[in-house]
A = this chain, B = another copy of it.
Amino acid sequence: MTMTYREIKDDMMRRITGGDWPPGTQLPGEIELSAEYGVARATVGRALRDLVEDGIIERRRKSGTRVRAHPLRQMRMAIPLVREEIEASGAAYFYKLLESDISVPPAPVAARMGLAEGALARRLACLHYADLKPYQLEDRWISLTAVPEAEGADFHEIGPNEWLVRQVPFTEVEVAMMALPADQRLAQTLECAPGTALFAAERQTFREGQTVTLVRLVWREGHRIMTRY
């Protein structure tokens, strides 16, 4: 008989989208709503908290709850491991380590990673295949200051991404996505014409404010990422 917080949330969404509570409207307070719905205050509170997370309403102490003038558009995107991404598409996954050394990164990279002058890092280049066709090129720097274990790690069998996820899980991440023209090296490794428009991402991950790794991922021609929200 009594409503659940989900039903209340749905009902509120109906009232918002249906025009009862148009954008900008001030909603009744929690006590009034709980009386109206015949539930405890905590229950309408739960529904309202969900609507805040969905970007539908805004709440402030004292001034109350109102429907956002422009609903906050945001999306959530899953970030799969390359291997899972490929295997999920039904293709077989292969991995190849192209380059691997330990060196001082060029100045721009070192600056971005916040490395001390002359600090060493592990540099890796890997290629991920879907059904023997190149799928993604991975160019990575791993800070040996933050992850000294990376100095001796062997990346011939396991990719650095999966290795890092096990070594240093739970990091802060900053991602940028962009379009890149294929240079000579990209064109060769990804088997496309030079100049081809490729989708790329740069990901920098942190642990306690310190950069762990900086990676550039470039996908083969035509790749798109999709999400629904």
Q: Known: A76-B76, A181-B197. Is A170-B228 also a contact (CB below 8 A)?
A: no
| Contact B165–A180 (Cβ < 8 Å) | no
Judged by DSSP, the binding face of A is strand
What 7 pairs across the A-B complex have the smallest Cβ distances? A179-B179, A197-B197, A73-B79, A178-B224, A179-B197, A179-B199, A181-B197
A-B contact pairs, 16 of them (CB 8 A): A17-B170, A23-B169, A70-B169, A73-B173, A75-B79, A75-B173, A76-B77, A173-B228, A174-B226, A174-B227, A175-B227, A177-B224, A178-B179, A178-B222, A178-B223, A181-B197
Residues of A at the B interface (CB closer than 8 Å) are 13, 16-17, 23, 56, 70-81, 165, 169-170, 172-181, 195-200, 222-229
Give Cα distance in the complex from A176 to B56, angstroms: 23
A75 CB contacts on chain B under 8 angstroms: 76-77, 79, 173, 175
A74, B77: Cβ atoms under 8 Å? yes
A165–B78 Cα gap in the complex (Å)? 26
Residues of chain B with a CB closer than 8 A to A76's CB: 74-77
Check B81 against A225 for contact (C-beta < 8 Å). Answer: no
Tell me the smallest distance from the CB of A180 to a CB of chain B, in Å: 6
A7–B23 Cα distance when bound, in Å, is 35
Whether B169 pairs with A226 at a CB distance below 8 angstroms is no
Q: Are A199 and B177 in contact (CB under 8 A)?
A: yes
Q: Are A16 and B176 in contact (CB under 8 A)?
A: no
In the complex, A66→B155 CA distance in Å?
29
Beta-carbon nearest neighbor of A42 in chain B: B42
A73 to B78, CA, bound (A): 6
* A71 and B170 form a contact (CB under 8 A): yes
Residue pair A176, B226 in contact (C-beta under 8 Å): yes
Chain B neighbourhood of A56, CB < 8 A: 170
Determine how close the nearest CB of chain B comes to the CB of A167; give it in whole angstroms: 11
Are B172 and A228 in contact (CB-based, < 8 A)? yes
Q: List, in ascending order, chain B residues with CB within 8 A of A177's CB.
A: 177, 199, 224-226
Q: Report B-chain residues with C-beta under 8 Å of the C-beta of A199.
A: 177-179
A228, B174: Cβ atoms under 8 Å? Answer: yes
Chain B residues with CB under 8 A of A223: 178-179
Interface centre among A56, A178, A222 (most CB of B within 10 A): A178
